Amino acid sequence: MWPIIRNIARTGLISEPPPEAELQWRTNAQWIESEMLRILGRALTIRHVDAGSCNGCELEIHALNNPYYNIEGLGMRFVASPRHADLLLVTGPVSRHMRVALERAYEAMPEPRLVVAVGDCGCTGGVFGESYASCGRVANVIPVDVAVPGCPPTPIDLLKGILAAVDRRMPSTISTRPGSL
Amino acid sequence: MLPGLNCTFDRLPGPLPVSRAQLTRKSWKAAASLARSLGGRLVSLWATDRRPIDGHMALHAAYATSAGLTWVTLPLTDSLRVYPGVDDVFAEAVRMQRAVADLLGLLPEEHHDARPWLRHDAWPADYHPLLAQHTGLETFEGAPELYPFVPVEGDGVHEIPVGPVHAGIIEPGHFRFSVVGEKVLRLEERLGYTHKGIEKRFEGQRPLDAALLAARVSGDTTVAFGWAYAMAVESACNCTVPERAQWLRALALERERVANHLGDLGALGNDAGFSFGLAQFSRLKEDWLRLNAAAFGHRYAMDTVIPGGVRADPAEAHLEQIARQCDDIERETGQLRSIYDEHAGLQDRFAGAGRVSPELAARLGLTGLAGRASGQAHDLRSDFRLAPYDALGTVCVSSRAGDVAARVAVRFDEALESLRLIRTIAARLQAESLQGPIHSALQVASTPAYGVGWVEGWRGEVLVALELDQYGVIRRCHCHDPSWQNWPLLEHAVIGNIVPDFPLINKSFNLNYSGQDL
């Protein structure tokens, strides 16, 4: 037990980004948390669906949970069922084999079904395009609120995209916000 | 080379020990048995529609023996779409043969499992996308088809269907468990959900353009696939890569290995209820990725390896940072390892879970990291010592225990070995003798050409087999991930374990969906 506690103590609190982005991130972190609570009155729940990704985007979505980005500390968490989700985070071009599963996950969500398409493939179909096996971009299958470009998008870009989706569906509730987020 | 086969072998240009031979129906089967008797393994099995070029379909297999890689081809006449299957010699061929049936309509003479593998219901059974007459852009109204899972019957047996969408941030696939109480009697996997037509997409592209696609076969293995693809193009174009580029490729590949091992070690702790491990290892991984972004311009070094060389040359300051980071990560990983080793609850979950015996691993062709944890001590870096590994002396890590604990231990040992390699590479890259160009121009031949790339990625050996036509355009590019071999072994590993241990066992293999489904 002691080595564990020692390691935790030595590591300290690291939920901060690297120096150059520090100030902007800290302001945003506080803003994100308060906005999330104000708009939703609770944590934002996210359900991820890989609809045919190369798994690059999944690596960055995983990274959101690391202590640096600490997404749960911002009032967002990943849930195991679309029935518990406010927002669907979809990666990949939608493979034709995943089309039905994606549609069902979307339909299982309660309103307002926010959808964020992740990555160049989610935005446009990417290098895979449309074919006998791929439906192309996510918007070809379900309505998309925000599409986050990048291959894969960085964790910060993913956060920006998630917030933009919340913002877009509830424009009147968003107060003035600092920074360029 | 497979000595004793009555045929001529052509050595492909390039540093890899690869030879090609055309076989007859009789020698095709003999080649498989011969490879088996030499202690070799089946690396991949695939097919090409070569009718526009020489009027026949061609079935290919790649065998690895201690002499290197042997690529054998069996021409099939148009009317005869059956071939002698090799699944009775190499069991791992079953799914590959099912994929060949889906994609090109070629069938083994004795079809032991006639169910589709990569095809679900998005296109009809008589549409074979890799046939030359199809553009790959055809679309169909799919009607749902029932996939007959193997039923398990008996008193108290019930099924648990899981997926394709899983309860975490993971790739899609379907698992069908047959259980009694909590005990797993049988697991059957159904994959192919992320099939997005990658191999068809390669056709008709120029080799340089298609590097983007190769780097996106699988995001977590982007460097290995990028390198294997580049190696295949360079072999087909007889292009020599500058020495500095070779070292930079090894740097990127080893950094990819460490990044994935760090991530897995954290996730394995978490799946055994030890979230401290995830927090710590994901912190180390993030540090690691950030230095990747600084040094290579990409957190996963995607598109760093390109045919002819590499795209990015880290600055000297970054090389020094890389060396220092190895010291830091080594120290911290060592501390975390002793915490893992001394944590009774964690070891209780790891030890004995999901065991694959070395005998079973050898019989069914378990490969790569998981293979090394079950006594299959193959590692291309130490077996063939391709530059720059010839100058590095990589140690092949292995264990014979075959359980989750062994796969954890192999990851720790491999990560530490890679840190040692990276330190050496970073030092060498700063040496005067290694300064120079990082890219050489590609001269595409005006005759049909072949190339192979074979790289030890973090999961295991990644293979790319490339055929260019006389215009220098891709006729066929086959990408093979070691997960093809290892997925069936996961089914064996969980037998007799309890359902709640499946996520842990699955994570200890951490197999690729996208790289398998293509």
CATH number of the domain at A108, please. 3.40.50.12280
- C-beta of residue B252 within 8 angstroms of C-beta of residue B484: no
The per-residue DSSP string of A18-68 comes to: -GGGHHHHHHHHHHHHHHHHHHHSS-EEEEEEESS--SHHHHHHHHTTSTT
The answer as to whether A115 is a domain residue is yes
Q: What is the pLDDT of residues A75-102, one digit of tens each?
A: 889 999 999 999 999 999 999 999 999 9
The torsion of the CA quartet B468, B473, B476, B479, rounded to 10 degrees, works out to: 90
| Residue A48 in contact with partner chain B when CB distance is under 8 A | yes
* Residue B463 parent element (H or E): strand B461-468
Q: CA B305, CA B233: separation in Å to the nearest integer?
A: 12
One domain for residues B82 and B231: no
A&B contacts, CB < 8 Å: 171
One domain for residues B218 and B348: yes
The answer as to whether B129 is a domain residue is no
Alpha carbon of B217: minimum distance to chain A alpha carbons (Å): 6
Q: CA B495, CA B507: separation in Å to the nearest integer?
A: 16
pLDDT of A25 reads 40
Report the candidate in B284, B267, B392, B272 with the shortest Cα–Cα distance to residue B334: B284
DSSP A90: E
pLDDT of A36 reads 65
pLDDT of B14 reads 87
One domain for residues B238 and B101: no
pLDDT of A1 reads 81
Residues B367-383 have a mean pLDDT of: 95
The answer as to whether A58 is a domain residue is yes
One domain for residues B345 and B456: yes
The answer as to whether B130 is a domain residue is no
B354: left (phi over 0), alpha (psi -120 to 50) or beta: left
Neighbours of B139 (CB within 10 A): 14
The answer as to whether B90 is a domain residue is yes
Identify the band that residue A41 occupies on the pLDDT scale cut at 50, 70 and 90.
low
Identify the band that residue B168 occupies on the pLDDT scale cut at 50, 70 and 90.
confident
Residue given tokens 């295991």 in the structure block: B460
B404-429 vs B243-271: helix crossing angle, rounded to 10 = 150
Last residue of a domain, one of B67, B88, B108: B108
Amino acid at A96: R
> Do B193 and A95 count as a contact with CB atoms less than 8 A apart?
yes
- Which tokens go with B151? 């039923």
Strand pairing report for A114-118 and A146-148: parallel
Residues B211-235 have a mean pLDDT of: 97
| Total number of domains in chain A | 1
Q: CA A148, CA A169: separation in Å to the nearest integer?
A: 16
Of A78, A95, A101, nearest to B169 by CB-CB distance is A78
What's chain B's length in residues? 518
Coil, strand or helix at B258: helix
CATH number of the domain at B28, please. 3.30.460.80
Q: With contacts defined as CB-CB under 8 Å, which chain A residues touch B198? A: 128
Neighbours of B155 (CB within 10 A): 5
Of A7, A11, A62, nearest to B339 by CB-CB distance is A7
Q: With contacts defined as CB-CB under 8 Å, which chain B residues touch A101? A: 164-165, 172, 193
The answer as to whether A101 is a domain residue is yes
The answer as to whether B479 is a domain residue is yes
- C-beta of residue A130 within 8 angstroms of C-beta of residue A136: yes
The answer as to whether B205 is a domain residue is yes
Last residue of a domain, one of B79, B108, B137: B108
Q: CA B300, CA B221: separation in Å to the nearest integer?
A: 9
pLDDT greater than 90 at residue A143: yes
Q: CA A148, CA A158: separation in Å to the nearest integer?
A: 7
DSSP A139: G
Residues B90-115 have a mean pLDDT of: 93
Of A58, A96, A131, nearest to B200 by CB-CB distance is A131
| Residue A141 in contact with partner chain B when CB distance is under 8 A | no
The answer as to whether A19 is a domain residue is no
E strand map for chain A: 44-50, 76-78, 87-91, 114-118, 146-148
Q: CA B70, CA B35: separation in Å to the nearest integer?
A: 9
| Residue A42 in contact with partner chain B when CB distance is under 8 A | no
Identify the band that residue A11 occupies on the pLDDT scale cut at 50, 70 and 90.
confident
Residues A5-27 have a mean pLDDT of: 61
One domain for residues B243 and B103: no
Q: Specify burial of residue B447 (Cβ count, 10 A radius: 0-12, 13-18, 19+).
A: exposed
pLDDT of B3 reads 79
Average pLDDT, chain A: 83
pLDDT of A172 reads 47
Q: CA B395, CA B424: separation in Å to the nearest integer?
A: 14
Alpha carbon of A104: minimum distance to chain B alpha carbons (Å): 10
Alpha-helical regions (H) of B354-456: 358-364, 368-372, 380-383, 404-429
- C-beta of residue B230 within 8 angstroms of C-beta of residue B210: no
| Residue A119 in contact with partner chain B when CB distance is under 8 A | no
Q: With contacts defined as CB-CB under 8 Å, which chain A residues touch B335? A: 3, 7
Residues B10-38 have a mean pLDDT of: 92
pLDDT of B145 reads 83
pLDDT of B320 reads 96
The per-residue DSSP string of B181-199 comes to: TTEEEEEEEE--TT---HH
Alpha carbon of B6: minimum distance to chain A alpha carbons (Å): 41
Q: With contacts defined as CB-CB under 8 Å, which chain A residues touch B201? A: 127-129, 131
pLDDT greater than 60 at residue B382: yes
For B83, the domain range is 10-108
- Which tokens go with B29? 């089967």
Q: With contacts defined as CB-CB under 8 Å, which chain B residues touch A97? A: 120-122, 164, 192-195
The answer as to whether A81 is a domain residue is yes
Residues B339-356 have a mean pLDDT of: 95
pLDDT of B180 reads 95
Q: Which of A50, A83, A99, A100 to mutate to test the interface with B (most CBs of B within 10 A)?
A: A50
pLDDT of A40 reads 64
Residues B375-379 have a mean pLDDT of: 95
Q: CA B201, CA A128: separation in Å to the nearest integer?
A: 7
Report the candidate in B255, B233, B234, B393 with the shortest Cα–Cα distance to residue B312: B255
> Do B219 and A80 count as a contact with CB atoms less than 8 A apart?
no
Neighbours of B180 (CB within 10 A): 13
For A93, the domain range is 43-171
One domain for residues B266 and B405: yes
One domain for residues B502 and B404: yes
The answer as to whether A23 is a domain residue is no
pLDDT of A174 reads 42
Identify the band that residue A3 occupies on the pLDDT scale cut at 50, 70 and 90.
confident
> Do A132 and B200 count as a contact with CB atoms less than 8 A apart?
yes
The answer as to whether A147 is a domain residue is yes
The answer as to whether B289 is a domain residue is yes
Of A4, A48, A63, nearest to B286 by CB-CB distance is A63
B222-236 vs B243-271: helix crossing angle, rounded to 10 = 150
The CA distances from residue B88 to B58, B91, B108, in Å, are 20, 6, 11
| Total number of domains in chain B | 2
Average pLDDT, chain B: 94
One domain for residues B206 and B67: no
Q: What is the pLDDT of residues B43-87, one digit of tens each?
A: 999 999 998 888 899 999 999 999 999 999 999 976 778 999 999
Amino acid at B115: R
Q: CA B365, CA B371: separation in Å to the nearest integer?
A: 8
CATH number of the domain at B508, please. 1.10.645.10
- C-beta of residue B291 within 8 angstroms of C-beta of residue B322: yes
| Residue A56 in contact with partner chain B when CB distance is under 8 A | yes
Q: Which of A22, A55, A140, A154 to mutate to test the interface with B (most CBs of B within 10 A)?
A: A55
Tally the C-alpha atoms within 13 A of residue A86's C-alpha that lie toward its C-beta: 18
Alpha carbon of B74: minimum distance to chain A alpha carbons (Å): 28
| Residue A98 in contact with partner chain B when CB distance is under 8 A | yes
> Do A63 and B197 count as a contact with CB atoms less than 8 A apart?
no
- C-beta of residue B397 within 8 angstroms of C-beta of residue B370: no
Q: Specify burial of residue B230 (Cβ count, 10 A radius: 0-12, 13-18, 19+).
A: buried
Identify the band that residue A42 occupies on the pLDDT scale cut at 50, 70 and 90.
low
